[in-house]
Structure 1
Amino acid sequence: MVEGYNKNITSSDSKPTPDRQSSELTTWIRSLQQALTVEVDHGFINIQGRTNKFSNFVTGYLLSGPSTAVNEFDFSRLQELALDYEKYQTMSTDDRRKIIVQTRQALHTLFKYKEGEERAEPNKLKIRRSQESTLHKRSSSAYSLSLQSTISSVKGVGSKQAERLSTLGLILIRDLINYFPRDYVDYSSLKTIDKTQAGQNVTIVAKVRRCSSFKSPKNPNLAILELFIKDKTGGMKITRFFAGRRSSSIAYVKSQQSLYPVGATVAVSGLVKESKYGKSLNDPLIEIIDSPNDYLKSRTIGQILPVYSLTEGITADKFRDLIQSILYLTSNIKDPLPKETLNRLDLPNRKEAFFHIHNPENSMTLAKAKRRIVFDEFLLLQLSLLLRRDLHKKSDSPQLSIEPNINSLVGKFLSILPFSLTNAQRRVLKEIESDIVKAEPMSRLLQGDVGSGKTVIAISALLTAVQSGWQGAFMAPTEVLASQHFQTLSKWIPQLEINVDLLTGSTPKSRRKQILTDLVNGSTKILVGTHALFEDPVVFERLGLVVVDEQHRFGVKQRNKLLNKGLQPHLLTMTATPIPRTLALTLHGDLDVSQLDELPPGRTPINTQLISPNEKKYAYDLIRSEIKKGHQIYVVLPLIEESEKLELSSAVDVHYQLSTEIFSEFNVELLHGKMKSVEKQEVIQNFINKKSDILVSTTVIEVGVDVPNASVMLIEDSDRFGLAQLHQLRGRVGRGASKSYCLLSHQNKNKLSRQRLDVLVNSNDGFEISEIDLRFRGPGQVLGTKQSGLPDFALASLADDADVLEIARKEARIILDSDPLLSNNSMLRLSIKEQWDRLKIGNKLN
């Protein structure tokens, strides 16, 4: 604990210096962070310190506040949290986890705010802002340009350069304005030499104390200039390199040396490096300052430089010059939001945001510009999703009836199950039932880890539709998973005397014809299938409910095609890939979300371990001992999207090695993507029926195989998977009462890669894992696929901008409440139409 939660962080009565103030604030924050970490490590038990419980300590600590005030920082959030900690003792574990996350976020905000204050020190350099030159010194010919003008009409842009720019998708000046920097080099931090640190980009003003030049002894075409500069706090070496034919001339090198006479004042911007000889700057930007009152001639020294993604033939300096030459046109940008809204949300107008994103005055104007553009991206998305949701809710849908008795189909189904529903399952069923009795269509996403019982919920919902006189469709992304669902239904449904059928791409023509006939005349009540259900010949008599499993693997257009096959049916989508809240709001902001956050009783925690290549013997010994106990094993190989041949070769090689060399005494089978559907089914059925001991697979990610007897999963090259994928894979074992193992084999020596896998070793919480995976890999890879319809943000980050997403969603709701069809917001309406057209997903989305 932090000194038994009783240590006084500051005790001096003397007025602290700014540096000491910063140090005290950092100490205050870190001490509280340490206490939070200790509580998290102990499982949120309100741990007892020497004299205080954790919650009492945090309450007092937050109310006392740091002894060094931060100008204009709003401490009310910390005080609100302090009051919440008074209820900590009576909170559930989930609520305790949430309040600790909120506290960490508040501390992070305070720390960043203080950093911003420290960076915003007055700049002693006289810098001529590019705004002055671009806005007030444009040529008369420039007045004919507009945002819709082609780039080739800009002075100095020839046909070759215009062609190169077009490869970046830059055709119009508007495209240039919307082509945001991928990064920034910040030279705005003016430092004295003693305050510089290795790895920092800094600007230093100092005097030249020594200057020398010489030719490189190893390269005759390389000359080196060395400056030693000094200010009141210390000295530093500066090295400049001159390469090429001219550097071989002694006269040229001496002329460069003469530019920096001893005693001259220089402004220097660059990256600080440190060696055994001390701190230095290599090839920095340098300018002689003639007089303290003169403006710097350089447009880069002491400023924040934008860095753009470029193509061959376009230099960084030329591209920056091009951007600067047309930046005055940002004054033509119109703002769809009124001033009152911008003031309330503390956002700059769009003109300022687009100007400062390319030409930031300081870190504060850059942060504000970024925030506004990120807000706009999220606002358009949320307006789009909420509009679709509102339009969808106006559709007519089957009004299903609920019969809460044991004689109903759902009652009979639940009574023949060999287990009772969890509290989470009961809660989700009630949420679904409250939706489907309404005349408006349900649009609900059901999230839950592998094994949390989603299929039981899906079957119950489908039976409700059948009980009410309607049909149900159960859609899966692969034939293997569709067949698995069909087998599950076939196990229970016949006892209820209901016709269920399976329709996939490999269904024989004769059987397919019969299925379609039964579907039209209504004798088939539930149809399970893959994308084959989208095809036009598939016609339902009365489709009342659509269940989509692993919904993120389907394009939005595909889902809508099925939903259009009747009176707007209710929609229940499911996923076993836990999705972080920010990603759920982005992908499924038009859906209500239900969460199965409770696993059925009897599930033994899975022992997850990292193993290196030289620990394979341990893995093989464990596998051998588990098979001898009567258990079965998965060996999973990564899916290599770039090369199916390589994937197949790898799978065949590993299968051959295991079956002939390592585990020749056992039955080892192979499953891969190139196999025919019938072959896949046979291999999976053999594994389910215990005819095989080891299943080597590249496609098990897509397979909903439920084999309680499987106790070990060995995942080869585990660092090639996302954390969310690994967590979902891991859920294939540990489904029985026996102790189970997940062995993550990896050859990557990268420290970050190992830290990422350690997350999986230390956590079984799918939502926590997916949040971390979102930061590591990004949204597309968290889902394990390139999501169709996932917006392509220019600046917004789902991992870093969650707070802006929440604000944008609230604002979108406010706008639509007062203007449901955006009749009075034509600019927003047009932008949304462009977005829908770009994503090609139409107006009808679920």
Structure 2
Amino acid sequence: MTDMGKSEKHAAASLTTPVQFLPGVGPSRAPLLERLGLRTATDVLFCFPRDYQDLTQLRAIDGLEEDKLQTVVGTVEEFELRGSTPGRCVLGVLIRGQCGGYMRGLWFNQPFMQKQFFRGRRVMLSGKPRRNGLFWEMNHPTVTQLGDDEDEPGGRILPVYPLTEGLKQWQMRRIIESVLERHVDLLDEVFPPEYLEAHRLWPLRKALPEIHFPSDWSSMEAARRRFVYQELFILQLGLAVRRRRQQLHGQAPSMEVSAKIDARIQRRFPFELTAAQKTAIAEISADMARAVPMNRLLQGDVGSGKTIVAVYAMLAAVAHGYQAVLMAPTEVLARQHVRTLERLLAGSQVRIGALIGGLSASARRDVLERIADGRADLIVGTQAILQESVRFAKLGLVVIDEQHKFGVRQRAALKQAGTDPHYLVMTATPIPRTVTMTLFGDLDVSTLRDSPPGRKAVHTYLAEEDQREKWWDFVRRKLGEGRQCYVVVPLVEETEAVAAVSLDAAYEALVNGPLEAFRVGLIHGRMTSDEKDAVMADFRSGEIQVLVCTSVVEVGVDVPNATLMTIESAERFGLAQLHQLRGRISRGRFPGYCAVFAGTDSEEALARLKSFISTTDGFELAEADFSQRGPGELFGTRQHGLPPFRVADLLQDKGFLEEARRDALALVEADPGLSLPEHAKLRRQMLTRYGKVLELGDVG
């Protein structure tokens, strides 16, 4: 081929080629690929398999062995669906092997599977066969449809890709194989050669074909290792750069906590701090003494005393003449923080400003004026504090809840006269270490594991339906002794799709049934702030004895006299959420009792609930919840703005995450701006993938 021909081929095979112009796609299939988020040749190259089919064990039907995972290729001779009642039907498909012999595939209670078959269709079935009379049979084998002209796939490991309606596996494989052949050599390696060698990583152009069409399992693992490491490393690089930038360029007020200030603050606390609280306070005090903005995550178990640690930090700021802000995720919790501060600071000269809903126009104007001229030292509110109308006299510390998306724009709203305040982020429940490194990798971490002395235990029971009346007998007795009870249900309205107990149904059943002699209230997320506040005030005062609620009480609500909790359809809550709910009771001097009722017989769901009742350790439950539900659902990775991982899995790739974090921190320590020529491609990929979400626009 002439040089002219080579350059034309290179131009035609551009990595930005729209999918419509890729071989095997065209205008009819392009919308299907775009539905999967694939718009260019590069997108297709990095559309990794979600699974693999092992066809190295491809067999002729006459050569099958019982109960070993094997694969056969054949043609559909006939198929029949017997029975049409849901839960009582069976689909039988007779396959004639391409080398002779017959086998039957059986699918029980999956009538939708018949759409995959018609007479004469070539298919591949993978499963464990067994002999039944004249025929071999496979129950629920994996089905792969083969094109009429598709090559014999035997002896290979086949990729299984995500699909959309109208797109077949064999078509997807053919498209990706074609794009690989034409485009893989155009890709730039992001890692320097010596880096690949030092970390035992395969080069990009070797790894990419092998992750799509592995020669063998060890090659697939080596290729996957390269992309898992790269994906986690690029994220950790972005977090490390952001962390370093804050350290180098942030200018915060230095507030050293002297022995005198420490003694004055601690006199305000009516109890001895735990060892963990003292350690966290020492870490926070050391941060606030520096002229670099503190960026610290404070996490701890339910009832471990996070709020007191935050109050200490706020009072340290006030002692130096600065204002401190406490941002709560809900109005209910904001009001509770105000009550806590008023109780702790009664008789002191510290002035509290509450910027919360329900204020009259004149009252709100008064609070804003006191914040602006410095007559409010501690300001409590929700994210409304970030509005343009709020001006601070001298802001030194911001305490925020991790549910807030808090980035550069929000920080800019709180920036004062060229200085940044210190930031302390609190989480409601413990976070697994891998999630902490992923979502909060640019923060330092303080952890509270101990509970304050005197905190009573909560006894938790997984109750059977026939024990319900016995439980209500116990509840009535405790209510008669003056205690209070939560009844938690997962949904506001019943739907046909979800057989969970609805809020209204639960409320009506209680007031007309086992608790008709008691004062029962109702609260849920759809009520206005004023309505919720009124109900909570009545519950706190004891006017309401039983509160029927959704998980709106999950975060931070503190009613010391509430010692009883009933959780309906408990399988619909995550373990961390159940633990947070349970933390609402036994916050005073009486022990707590929590009964969970399951709305399902599912073994998996019941096993999860048994793990919940077996421990009160929130860190243990957070890890269990993480392993069962994964990070995305557990912490809403998307709500934190992070794009989903393409290949990495935080459950199985913890070791890679630790390694990637260490390496990223070391690289940024050596080259803070990633400005060296050998790091230019890494910087470009980091900015492309995470520059917007991590707000790294000014890097490099």
Equivalent residue number for residue 374 of structure 2: 522
SS at match of 1:552: coil
Between 169-178 and 811-820, the greater mean CA deviation after superposition: 811-820
Quick one: structure 1 residues 832 and 657, their matched pair in 2 at CA, closer, same or farther if it must change by over 3 Å? same
Quick one: structure 1 residues 398 and 227, their matched pair in 2 at CA, closer, same or farther if it must change by over 3 Å? closer
**Which of 130, 151, 156 is the equivalent residue of 1:303?**
156
Distance 1:650 1:223 in 2: 43
Contact 2:499 2:599 (8 Å CA) reproduced: no
In the alignment, is residue 177 of structure 1 matched against residue 45 of structure 2?
A: yes
Structure with the greater relative contact order (CA < 8 A, sep ≥ 6): 1 or 2? Answer: 2
Matches within 5 A, 1:660-679: 660-679=512-531
Amino acid of the residue matched to residue 510 of structure 2? L
Quick one: structure 1 residues 316 and 838, their matched pair in 2 at CA, closer, same or farther if it must change by over 3 Å? farther
SS at match of 1:787: helix
Equivalent residue number for residue 57 of structure 1: none
Distance 1:364 1:238 in 2: 32
Amino acid of the residue matched to residue 312 of structure 1? E
Distance 1:699 1:652 in 2: 14
In the alignment, is residue 238 of structure 1 matched against residue 103 of structure 2?
A: yes
Shift of residue 842, structure 1, vs aligned partner: 5.1
Amino acid of the residue matched to residue 499 of structure 1? R
Contact 2:553 2:584 (8 Å CA) reproduced: no
Contact 2:488 2:566 (8 Å CA) reproduced: yes
Contact 1:181 1:309 (8 Å CA) reproduced: yes
Distance 1:430 1:628 in 2: 45
Equivalent residue number for residue 291 of structure 1: none
Equivalent residue number for residue 29 of structure 2: 161
Between 164-173 and 584-593, the greater mean CA deviation after superposition: 164-173
SS at match of 1:547: strand
Equivalent residue number for residue 176 of structure 2: 323
Contact 2:76 2:118 (8 Å CA) reproduced: no
Equivalent residue number for residue 399 of structure 2: 547
Between 742-751 and 470-479, the greater mean CA deviation after superposition: 742-751
Matches within 5 A, 1:422-441: 422-441=274-293
Distance 2:255 2:388 in 1: 26
**Which of 186, 203, 208 is the equivalent residue of 2:54?**
186
Distance 2:93 2:342 in 1: 81
Distance 2:576 2:13 in 1: 49
**Which of 371, 378, 387 is the equivalent residue of 2:241?**
387
Contact 1:648 1:674 (8 Å CA) reproduced: no
Contact 2:104 2:138 (8 Å CA) reproduced: yes
Amino acid of the residue matched to residue 180 of structure 2? L
Matches within 5 A, 1:819-834: 819-824=671-676, 825-834=679-688
Equivalent residue number for residue 341 of structure 2: 489
Q: 1:385-433 CA distances to partner (integer Å, 9 max, x unpaired)?
A: 111111101211100021213xx3x523422432111111111111111
Quick one: structure 1 residues 419 and 341, their matched pair in 2 at CA, closer, same or farther if it must change by over 3 Å? same
Contact 1:238 1:280 (8 Å CA) reproduced: yes
Amino acid of the residue matched to residue 560 of structure 1? R
Matches within 5 A, 1:211-360: 224=94, 238-239=103-104, 270-274=126-130, 280-281=137-138, 298-328=151-181, 329-360=183-214
**Which of 253, 257, 266 is the equivalent residue of 1:402?**
257
Distance 2:407 2:240 in 1: 16
Quick one: structure 1 residues 555 and 753, their matched pair in 2 at CA, closer, same or farther if it must change by over 3 Å? farther
Matches within 5 A, 1:92-111: none
Equivalent residue number for residue 110 of structure 2: none
Distance 2:618 2:430 in 1: 6
Contact 2:304 2:450 (8 Å CA) reproduced: yes
Distance 1:299 1:457 in 2: 66
In the alignment, is residue 835 of structure 1 matched against residue 700 of structure 2?
A: no
* Pairwise CA RMSD: 3.7
Quick one: structure 1 residues 525 and 749, their matched pair in 2 at CA, closer, same or farther if it must change by over 3 Å? same
Matches within 5 A, 1:591-610: 591-610=443-462
Amino acid of the residue matched to residue 234 of structure 2? L
SS at match of 2:513: helix
Distance 1:689 1:615 in 2: 31
Quick one: structure 1 residues 303 and 488, their matched pair in 2 at CA, closer, same or farther if it must change by over 3 Å? same
Shift of residue 270, structure 1, vs aligned partner: 2.6
Shift of residue 722, structure 1, vs aligned partner: 0.8
SS at match of 1:313: coil
Consecutive unaligned residues of structure 1, counting only runs of 5 or more, are 1-137, 231-235, 257-267, 287-296
Amino acid of the residue matched to residue 341 of structure 2? L
Distance 1:554 1:517 in 2: 27
SS at match of 1:440: coil
Equivalent residue number for residue 151 of structure 1: 19
Quick one: structure 1 residues 225 and 313, their matched pair in 2 at CA, closer, same or farther if it must change by over 3 Å? closer
Shift of residue 837, structure 1, vs aligned partner: 4.5
Quick one: structure 1 residues 559 and 212, their matched pair in 2 at CA, closer, same or farther if it must change by over 3 Å? closer
Distance 1:682 1:216 in 2: 62
Distance 1:495 1:844 in 2: 48
Matches within 5 A, 1:40-79: none
Shift of residue 503, structure 1, vs aligned partner: 0.4
Identity among equivalent pairs (%): 35
**Which of 660, 669, 679 is the equivalent residue of 1:817?**
669
SS at match of 2:640: coil
**Which of 214, 231, 243 is the equivalent residue of 1:377?**
231
SS at match of 1:670: strand
SS at match of 1:795: coil
Equivalent residue number for residue 30 of structure 1: none
Shift of residue 666, structure 1, vs aligned partner: 0.3
Between 489-498 and 724-733, the greater mean CA deviation after superposition: 489-498
SS at match of 2:468: helix
Distance 1:582 1:518 in 2: 42
Contact 1:499 1:526 (8 Å CA) reproduced: yes
Equivalent residue number for residue 442 of structure 1: 294
Equivalent residue number for residue 564 of structure 1: 415
Matches within 5 A, 1:567-586: 567-586=419-438
Shift of residue 801, structure 1, vs aligned partner: 0.8
Contact 1:228 1:238 (8 Å CA) reproduced: no
Contact 2:631 2:637 (8 Å CA) reproduced: no
Equivalent residue number for residue 87 of structure 2: none
Equivalent residue number for residue 704 of structure 1: 556
SS at match of 1:778: helix
Q: TM-score, normalised by structure 2?
A: 0.86
Quick one: structure 1 residues 285 and 718, their matched pair in 2 at CA, closer, same or farther if it must change by over 3 Å? closer
Contact 1:640 1:646 (8 Å CA) reproduced: no
SS at match of 2:16: coil
Amino acid of the residue matched to residue 753 of structure 1? A
Shift of residue 534, structure 1, vs aligned partner: 0.7
Consecutive unaligned residues of structure 2, counting only runs of 5 or more, are 1-5, 84-90, 107-113, 145-149
SS at match of 1:494: coil
Equivalent residue number for residue 88 of structure 2: none
Q: 1:273-326 CA distances to partner (integer Å, 9 max, x unpaired)?
A: 44766964588999xxxxxxxxxx945222211111211221111111111111
Distance 1:642 1:841 in 2: 41
Distance 1:611 1:538 in 2: 50
Equivalent residue number for residue 687 of structure 1: 539
Shift of residue 489, structure 1, vs aligned partner: 0.4
Distance 1:317 1:382 in 2: 36
Shift of residue 144, structure 1, vs aligned partner: 2.5
Q: TM-score, normalised by structure 1?
A: 0.72
Shift of residue 190, structure 1, vs aligned partner: 7.1
SS at match of 1:514: helix
In the alignment, is residue 366 of structure 1 matched against residue 220 of structure 2?
A: yes
SS at match of 1:662: coil
Between 352-361 and 632-641, the greater mean CA deviation after superposition: 632-641
Quick one: structure 1 residues 284 and 633, their matched pair in 2 at CA, closer, same or farther if it must change by over 3 Å? closer
Contact 1:187 1:269 (8 Å CA) reproduced: no
Q: How many pairs are equivalent? A: 665
Shift of residue 774, structure 1, vs aligned partner: 1.1
Equivalent residue number for residue 111 of structure 2: none
